[in-house]
């Protein structure tokens, strides 16, 4: 029997899902986000109800799908004919690909899989497709992995611990941020739709509302904005950029980590985000100086340094703490309507071009009917600051707004890499307070409790 139609007073929207980089991810503080998670939340808001997320392991998804006690399943799923489960119109399109270490000889045809061992996550669409291929390809061995997630498996590939991995092609750009020596070769399946599954006996009204919701978000830009939130930045860094950054995490970051810890305690900003900003600004060079006079690891202008009471911009501790406090100031300058994470990305763009130029870009956005509180919109507006048609009418004059966009998108990627490789700062003991020097030898260094 189908579940009752969800209503504000009586029933939640029951969503069957799984964890993964394309669906939902919980951060170190237990906060959950992700593309499909956010889509389900948006649908529930449209219905005026709460969501009950039922998170199951990928290998158990088929069992839960067959039970039917859910309103919709949103786990980067494709329809399967023999399931007899109704689905929404396609939300995305995808296909499965073979991933290899780029030091290995690329495979160019399916027949070359003979005698090979291919790993895939247990219960995944890729595992199902591999078992199908194994019926026609001699000695193809399929290993289904139950531990960790797909990014863990791809890191094993990058470390040459496994030879071949089957994955969703939409993961390639995401994975390349963490495994720069990964490359894809063979297509393992035809293009397939990603849908929401509505169960074997869906509520007709709910099915109609879900179908209409999918069609609407594809037309009004909602889906494009969500895609950009999670994946719009992942194509910026090239392989050399990622390899260099991973190396600097091993060699340079250890000496600076305590300063970033201190900056988080004082500002409340994740130390890994502060470190990502510092890396983009100076490549963690405390003595960096630009031709325009900005200096130090956070590349502060003299005016900003004076405002933040920095006595020596080349002192990494002073620079890092001041940079974090300045980012907070810029976040506070954003309109109340600007929500996270957009609020942070907008502040970082302002960090790059200055509040005056950034406010000019917001003016242009309003004139063009764009939302100045949405990073998705401002990415398009900021480059206009370099065009005479726009900057000649502004008191602030010309600015390299396109560079601000690149800065923010690169920082987002560096931050993703740091989150994957470095633990969050959960708490600071008194011993660590002493270690990182939070007991009173610098301007404004007061522990925030």
Query: What is the mean predicted confidence (pLDDT) over 165-186?
Result: 93
Query: What is the mean predicted confidence (pLDDT) over 400-418?
Result: 93
CA-CA distance, 323 to 446, in Å (whole number)? Answer: 15
Q: Which CATH architecture has domain 239-436?
A: Orthogonal Bundle (1.10)
| 50 has a pLDDT exceeding 80 | yes
Query: What is the mean predicted confidence (pLDDT) over 178-197?
Result: 93
| 316 has a pLDDT exceeding 80 | yes
Confidence at 193, pLDDT banded by 50, 70, 90:
very high
Burial of residue 165 (CB within 10 Å: 0-12, 13-18, 19+) is buried
The beta-strand segments (E) located in 240-359 are none
How large a percentage of the chain has pLDDT more than 70?
93
**CB–CB of 163/104 below 8 Å?**
yes
Query: What is the mean predicted confidence (pLDDT) over 402-427?
Result: 91
**Residues 6+ positions from 129 with CB-CB distance below 8 Å:** 96, 166, 188, 189
3-state DSSP percent of the chain in helix, strand and coil, to 5: 50, 15, 35
Query: What is the mean predicted confidence (pLDDT) over 420-445?
Result: 59
Q: What is the pTM of this model?
A: 0.85
How much is the pLDDT for 234?
84
How much is the pLDDT for 443?
38
Superfamily in which the 13-91+193-231 domain is placed by CATH: Periplasmic binding protein-like II (3.40.190.10)
How much is the pLDDT for 69?
86
How much is the pLDDT for 388?
86
CA-CA distance, 101 to 320, in Å (whole number)? Answer: 37
pLDDT tens for each residue of 264-291:
999 999 999 999 999 999 999 999 998 8
pLDDT tens for each residue of 338-378:
999 999 999 999 999 999 999 999 999 999 999 999 999 99
Give the C-alpha distances (Å, rounded to integers) separating 76 from 65, 192, 233, 392. Answer: 13, 11, 20, 47
2-11, 291-300, 409-418: segment of lowest average pLDDT: 2-11
CA-CA distance, 155 to 176, in Å (whole number)? Answer: 10
**Arithmetic mean of pLDDT over the chain:** 89
pLDDT tens for each residue of 31-40:
889 999 999 9
CA-CA distance, 30 to 26, in Å (whole number)? Answer: 5
Q: Would you say the CATH fold of 239-436 matches that of 96-189? A: no
How much is the pLDDT for 297?
96
Q: Of 41, 155, 264, 281, which residue is the catalytic one?
A: 281
What are 336's two structure tokens?
A: 């109340």
| 9 has a pLDDT exceeding 80 | no
| 431 has a pLDDT exceeding 60 | no
What DSSP element (H or E) covers 184? strand 182-187
3-state secondary structure of 119: strand
First to last CA, the chain: 52
Confidence at 439, pLDDT banded by 50, 70, 90:
very low
Catalytic annotation present for 281: yes
Residue with tokens 């996270």: 340
How does DSSP assign 49-77, residue by residue? --EEEEE--GGGHHHHHHH--SSEEEEEE
Confidence at 448, pLDDT banded by 50, 70, 90:
very low
pLDDT tens for each residue of 249-267:
999 999 999 999 999 999 9
**Residues 6+ positions from 229 with CB-CB distance below 8 Å:** 35, 38, 341, 375, 376
Query: What is the mean predicted confidence (pLDDT) over 216-224?
Result: 94
Q: Which fold has domain 96-189?
A: D-Maltodextrin-Binding Protein; domain 2 (3.40.190)
How much is the pLDDT for 39?
96
pLDDT tens for each residue of 12-28:
899 999 999 999 998 77
Boundaries of every domain in the chain: 13-91+193-231, 96-189, 239-436
């Amino acid at each position: 029997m189908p579940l009752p139609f969800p209503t504000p007073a009586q029933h939640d929207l029951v969503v069957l899902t799984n964890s993964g980089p394309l669906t939902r991810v919980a951060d170190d503080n237990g906060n959950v986000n992700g593309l499909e998670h956010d889509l389900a939340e948006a649908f529930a808001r449209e219905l005026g109800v709460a969501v009950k997320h039922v998170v199951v392991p990928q290998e158990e998804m088929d069992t839960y799908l067959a039970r039917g006690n859910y309103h919709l399943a949103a786990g980067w799923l494709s329809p399967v004919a023999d399931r007899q489960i109704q689905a929404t119109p396609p939300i995305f399109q995808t296909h499965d690909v073979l991933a290899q270490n780029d030091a290995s000889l690329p495979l160019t045809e399916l027949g070359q899989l003979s005698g090979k061992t291919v790993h895939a996550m247990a219960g995944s669409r890729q595992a199902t497709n591999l078992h199908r291929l194994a019926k026609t390809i001699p000695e193809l061995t399929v290993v289904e992995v139950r531990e960790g997630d797909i990014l863990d498996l791809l890191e094993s590939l990058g470390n040459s611990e496994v030879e071949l991995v089957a994955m969703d092609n939409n993961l390639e750009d995401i994975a390349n941020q963490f495994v720069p020596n990964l490359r894809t070769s063979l297509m393992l399946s035809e293009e397939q739709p990603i849908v929401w599954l509505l169960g074997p006996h869906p509520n007709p009204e709910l099915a109609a509302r879900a179908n209409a919701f999918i069609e609407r978000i594809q037309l009004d830009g909602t889906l494009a904005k969500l895609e950009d939130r999670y994946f719009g930045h992942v194509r910026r860094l090239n392989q050399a950029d990622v390899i260099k950054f991973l190396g600097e995490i091993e060699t340079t970051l250890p000496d600076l980590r305590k300063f970033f810890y201190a900056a988080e305690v004082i500002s409340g900003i994740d130390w890994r985000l502060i470190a990502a900003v510092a890396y983009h600004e100076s490549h963690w060079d405390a003595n960096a100086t630009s031709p325009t006079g900005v200096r130090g690891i956070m590349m502060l202008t003299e005016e900003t340094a004076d405002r933040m009471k920095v006595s020596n911009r080349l002192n990494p501790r002073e620079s890092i703490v001041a940079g974090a406090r300045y980012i907070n100031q810029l976040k506070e300058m954003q309109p109340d309507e600007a929500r996270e994470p957009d609020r942070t990305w907008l502040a970082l763009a302002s960090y790059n071009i200055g509040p005056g130029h950034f406010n000019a870009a917001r003016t242009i956005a309003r004139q063009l009917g764009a939302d100045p509180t949405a990073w998705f919109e401002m990415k398009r507006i900021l480059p206009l600051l370099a065009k005479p048609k726009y900057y000649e009418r502004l008191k602030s004059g010309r600015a390299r707004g396109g560079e601000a966009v690149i800065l923010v998108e690169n920082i987002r990627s560096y931050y993703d890499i740091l989150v994957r490789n470095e633990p969050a700062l959960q708490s600071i003991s008194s011993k660590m307070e002493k270690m990182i020097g939070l007991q009173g030898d610098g301007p404004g260094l007061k522990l925030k409790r």
